[in-house]
Amino acid sequence: MKFTLSWLKRFLDTTASLDEICNALNNLGLEVEEVSDRSKELKDFKIARIIEANPHPQANKLQVCKVNDGEKVLQIICGAANARKDLTVVLAPVGTVIPENGLVIELAQIRGIESQGMLCGADELQVGGFNDEGIIELPADLPIGVSFATEYGLDDPVITLGITPNRADCFGVYGIARDLAAKGLGKLKEIAHKEIEFLKDSKSEMRLQLDQKLSNLFIGCQIRNIQNKPSPRWLANMLSNVGIQPISTVVDITNYMCHSFAQPMHAFDHDRLGNNIIIRTANEREKFKALNEKEYSLNIDDIVLANDKQVCLLAGIMGGIDSACTMQTQNIFLEAALYDKNSIAKSSKRHKIITDAKMRFERHVDGHKRLDAFKLACSMIQEICGGEFYNLLNEGTLKEPKTIKFDFSLVKDKSGLDIPIERSVEILEKLGYKITQSNHVIVPTWRDSEIPEDLVEEIVRVYGYDHVGQEPLTYTQHQSFPENFQIASKLSAALVSRGYHEVVTWSFMQDAKASKFGDINKDLEVVNPISNELNYMRGSILPNLLDNVIYNQNNFIKNIKIFEIGPVFNGNQVKDEGIVLSALYSGEYSNLPHEKSRLVDIFDIKGDLEYILQTIGIKLDDIDKMQDAYLHPNISGNIIYNDKTIGYIGSVHPKLLKEYDVTGEVFYFELNLNELSLIKEKAEFVPYAHPPVNRDFAFVVDEDIRAGDIVSHIKNNKLLPIKEVNIFDIYTGDQIGSNKKSIAINVTIQTNTNLTSEQIDLMSQNIINSVVEEFKATLRQ
């Protein structure tokens, strides 16, 4: 929300300085994002007039201009094509600093002729609202020698506020002035306007078809024989200073009402609109050409204002170009309706149109002040443009203002501030609330207060949050955290202990990149992305971790162990969001000088997976086959616990690594923390009084036998006290024959009694016999 200091003072009688006003706005919860005061950098620029312009004798594209600055005649060399005799211009005298580039204007010799200043263009002064080719052309009737900044209001500070969605009233300058008056920075001015002179016994020629489900209030006025023209200087300056291009008096007045009172209106060319107005929903694929000269295809969810032939207004958002007002318009129809704000918000999002009107309608437009604002707009049009006014159309009904039962002792109970009741009453009344004798508070129609706590917030906000004292937080020894948080914390610590580094990446990614990891889900496309590279909600963290791998490899870091805990998305519903832990391992197993280096393999990351699961009391049951396009088909699988899939593990597919330009193999696992939090019966920690016994076995089996199946088979041997089973080597080669492979397995046996050598040998033989029988294996000697 942008406004100038003079605009604010049209509604607030105050002697407060700009700094005092900005501090008060921040204290009121209306964050001041920026203050732009150009009075100093533009103070030396003058309005002048060219009284003579002749070609430069030494340069075809230059002119020697005689310029009257109101005190003397200067000689200035100018290269602008539009420089000519009797043109009113902006002069930069010698010593002036040009805002665009910081250039200091000096006396100069240009091709042998002295130049005593510079004639300025809009770009050089960094101002809008003027011709953008050549030097600025000003109206001929302007006084010469006066300050350009003062004449055009450019010395008027511009304040930019960040308005929260619940402060719809402060999307109008008058609402901001009301808050400042309640704060004690001045007095809110009453808005008065001249009574409209209507045609005697006039009845509007307009015929209205209104569906109150779409619009619960419609106000309109037919006005004929106006003189639409450029706006008065004060109005044009006010709008252009906040970035609104002045168009014509009628259009500028509607913009002024929108920004002054948060009351959007629209003016139609009546001759192009016609007499029949229909408020309806659009037809499927009905075409609408808007004021921005773009054509939109509408549907039945869009509310429109139409005539007999076409759509003339996308309700609450933007008017149509075919019924727009121009300088030649003599007859207008001024409209101020209330439309369903939810429909406006959806239509705006669907068609990707953001307008000042839309921003106000989708939050809240005060229907009870609609008629007063409309009459003010009509009186301004009549005063500036003249015209003959038909009686107003005014149809629809509005809800009564809300009432809240309020006990003023609640202020201290909720805030801890002992604010006198008289002061609380004063604050509420200055904000527009009405207090009855029975301690009922009538909420002003421009606010959305619903409960007593809302009134406490209003009082404390104006009284000042700086009065709230500092008190230490109460320490609670026993804190309860969600199961997800506890699991994530333990797994994170376990991974760090294994040498992993935690990373945090965007929850967004590029849709083109997401397509490599599965089908694109339209529900996950971001309508207004931060950038084109972040236009899709991620369905997996792996793509972002691969980006991290590339970055590290490009910086000559080849050994990478990283993980991230964060959200992934399968749809646009709350239930479609999951929290996962993703870990990635690539490079060499060890790069220490005294250790022989080797490349990591799937068993390294599998060992890390088993370790971290043990920290939360889960012993991995199995890894089952899976089919996923971005993992290696023979080196990947689902992680199974209690017959439930809790994640997956595997080697990233070589084709994908090639597309990413990643060097070497990359191994990855992902755990679904939502699933882990649902596991009620986790493996318990059992203290053992005696040390474990480890035995190694090497079995020769057929090449198609899965190593994981052998591990699962040994683990499930209920007759033996087996604590852990791990694979430490797989070998294929001439020494064991073709179509065979050797699988080396370490088995850990743990009991609460001392085992004899004979007992250990019997257990080992039991394991050997079981594997030989089940898999037709032979024990490798």
Chain centroid offset of residue 696 CA: 58
Using alpha carbons, select from 174, 163, 368 the residue that is nearest to residue 262. 174
**Annotation-wise, does 702 bind a ligand?**
no
Tokens at residue 644, please? Answer: 């439930």
Q: Report residue 756 as tokens.
A: 């004899």
Instruction: Flag whether 457 is marked binding.
Output: yes
CA dist., res. 369 & res. 392, Å (int) = 15
How many residues can be counted in the chain?
A: 781
Going from the C-alpha of 456 to that of each of 169, 184, 423, 450, the distances in angstroms are 18, 18, 12, 11
Q: What are phi and psi of 666, to 5 degrees?
A: -130, 130
Ligand-binding annotation for 252, yes or no, is no
Residue 748 CA neighbour count, 13 Å, CB half: 11
Q: Alpha helices, DSSP H only, in 114-248? A: 122-125, 148-151, 173-183, 233-241
Helical (H) or strand (E) element with 483: helix 483-497
Q: Residue 629's Cα: distance from chain center in Å? A: 33
Report the C-alpha gap between 545 and 504 in whole angstroms: 9
On whether 448 is known to bind a ligand per the annotation, the reply is yes
Crossing angle of helices 233-241 and 249-261, in 10° steps, is 60
Q: Locate tokens 């500070």: which residue?
A: 157
DSSP state of 698: E
**Cα separation values, 327 from 251, 318, 670, Å:** 10, 19, 65
For Cα atoms 750, 751, 752, give the angle at the middle one, nearest 5 degrees. 140
CA distances from 190 to 66, 178, 187, 261, 582 (A): 50, 11, 9, 13, 62
Annotated binding site, which residues? 448, 454, 457-458
Annotated binding site for Mg(2+), which residues? 448, 454, 457-458
